Amino acid sequence: MNLILDLLFPNRCLGCQNIIDANDAVCDACVSLIDFANFSFTETNLLEQKCRLLFPTEKAVALMLYQKSGLSQKIIHELKYNGRSIIGKTLAKWTVEKNILSSFGIDIITSIPLHPRKQKERGYNQLHHFVEYISKETKIPYSHNLLKRNFYSKPQAQKDREHRSEIKNLFSVQCAIQDKHILLIDDVYTTGNTISSAAWELIKKGNNKISILVMAVDF
């Protein structure tokens, strides 16, 4: 069945539209057109500086720069809204290959959760493949259940600036975790309000330290 579907509806590169492997997002040639952030855990960067204005941050890195109408936007959109959860693994591979992340004393990896209703509608959390691959390659354990999203809401991109600030008590910590260095992962960093809300809950509930990894940052 999969072979028939591949023949009838072949996967095409989000950049040039050439036919590519079903698990890929872009062809090898178009990878060079992606605006990679080229951040490193060993150097301070603008994302890290922005995070530190909102909450205590050990390190913060991004894989890509989020360019509207660019390849990074198309890749994230396919991952989140078009059922292409496997793209998360591709992004994780790029993260590992570019060596932007080090263990840096990190104890556990977790990600921003979806509300259960939103995850049921979408069928998956777009961050899970990404987290699992990063965990496998770095040998750092992960948890998909460390945080819970308390409210069902519109996607952050659809909210006006006033509503974006209304995120108090958006998350709660589900598991006892104390004095750990947590790598918190999200897809796109925009205002930082969502990731800040999650980070503060982890900090307050257990005196934990937080580092950040995002697939893309929108400056």
Domain of residue 111, CATH code: 3.40.50
Confidence of residue 7 (pLDDT cuts 50, 70, 90): low
Examine the domain organization and report whether 24 and 83 are in the same domain.
no
Examine the domain organization and report whether 194 and 108 are in the same domain.
yes
Q: Which residues contact 201 (CB under 8 A, 6 or more apart)?
A: 147, 171, 172, 173
| Residues found in the chain | 219
Q: Which residues contact 21 (CB under 8 A, 6 or more apart)?
A: 11
| DSSP of 137-195 | HHT--B-SSSEEE------GGGS-HHHHT--TT-EEE-S---S-EEEEEEEEESSSHHH
The model's pLDDT over 93-124, given as tens digits with 9 standing for 90+, comes to: 999 999 988 767 899 999 999 999 999 999 99
Examine the domain organization and report whether 87 and 175 are in the same domain.
yes
pTM equals 0.90
Examine the domain organization and report whether 187 and 147 are in the same domain.
yes
Q: In angstroms, what CA-CA distances link 38 with 45, 68, 183, 200?
A: 10, 19, 18, 27
What is the distance between the alpha carbons of residues 182 and 106, in angstroms, rounded to a whole number? Answer: 6
Examine the domain organization and report whether 70 and 44 are in the same domain.
yes
Examine the domain organization and report whether 87 and 2 are in the same domain.
no
Examine the domain organization and report whether 95 and 132 are in the same domain.
yes
Q: How many domains does the chain have?
A: 2
* Mean pLDDT of all residues in 117-146: 95
Tokens 């598991």 locate to 175
Examine the domain organization and report whether 23 and 113 are in the same domain.
no
pLDDT computed for residue 168 by the predictor: 73
Examine the domain organization and report whether 74 and 25 are in the same domain.
no
The model's pLDDT over 42-96, given as tens digits with 9 standing for 90+, comes to: 899 999 999 999 999 999 999 999 988 899 999 999 999 999 999 999 999 999 9
Residue 159 has pLDDT above 60, yes or no: no
Examine the domain organization and report whether 75 and 181 are in the same domain.
yes
Give the residue numbers spanning the domain of 11: 1-33
